[in-house]
Amino acid sequence: MLAVIDDDFALTLFGDQGGPEGTVLSQQRAWVSITIIFVFTLLTIRIVQKTRRDAKVALESYYQDMSKYKDHECLKARTLHIKGVLPQDRTGDGIQRHLNNILRQKSYGDQKPGQATSVLIIPDFTKQLHIEAQI
Q: Give Cβ neighbours of residue 86 (< 8 Å, ≥ 6 apart).
A: 94
**Which of 39-43, 72-76, 112-116, 121-125 shows the lowest mean pLDDT across its residues?**
72-76
Taking a C-beta distance cutoff of 8 angstroms, is the pair 91, 121 a contact?
A: yes
pLDDT: is 13 or 44 the higher one?
44
Structural Rg of the chain based on CA atoms: 33
Angstrom distance (rounded) from CA 102 to CA 94? 12
Q: Where are the domains of the chain?
A: 1-71, 80-135
Indicate if the pLDDT at residue 102 is higher than 80.
yes
Mean pLDDT within 43-60: 94
3-state SS, 10-36, equals HHHHHHHHCCCCCCCCCHHHHHHHHHH
Name the pLDDT band for 50 (thresholds 50, 70, 90). Answer: very high
